[in-house]
Amino acid sequence: MSIGYEYCPTEGYILSKVTKVLSLFEVLAYMDSIIDDDRINQPFYELVDFSEIDKFDFGYYQSDQIYGKLKLLQTHKKYLGTCFVASHDLAKAMSNVFKVQGETNGMNMEVFNSVDDAAEYIKENLP
C-alpha cells in the first residue's frame, strides 16, 4: 500500500506518508482505517506528505468519494482539516485541486512546502 499513517495525539495530527502511485481504492481504505482506529478520540488534523508521490491514479472528478469519507471523519472522529505537504509540481497541482474542492465542501484544507510548516500551522490552530 502506498499510503500509511502515524497517529500523533500530542501534536494533534495524523501524519500520512504517500509514496509512488496512489489509487482511489488505497485512499478510501486508508480513510476507513482512520475511521476504525479507536486511538483517535480527540480533535485532529490530517497532515498528508506528498513529497514522495510519483502519480495519482485517479482524477479530481472521483474525489466526491473522498469528501464523503472526510465528512464521516468530521462527524465521528473530530477531524479539523487537512494540511498537504507538496514539494514538487505534481503534488502542488493536485494539492491545490483538493484544497479548492475541499473548501467548496466546507472543509479546511491548506498547502505547505514542508512538514515543519504544516505542523506549525496545526499547533497554532488546534482548539
- Using the 8-state DSSP alphabet, how is residue 28 labeled? H
pLDDT, average across residues 87-106: 91
List pLDDT tens digits, range 70-80: 999 999 999 99
Q: Which of the 8 DSSP states describes residue 62? A: G
Please answer whether residues 24 and 65 qualify as being in contact, where contact means their C-beta atoms are separated by less than 8 angstroms.
yes
Instruction: Count CB neighbours of 61 within 10 A.
Output: 7
**CATH 3.30.750.24 correct for 3-23+34-125:** yes
pLDDT at residue 61, rounded to an integer: 76
Domain boundaries, the chain: 3-23+34-125
Which pTM value belongs to this model? 0.94
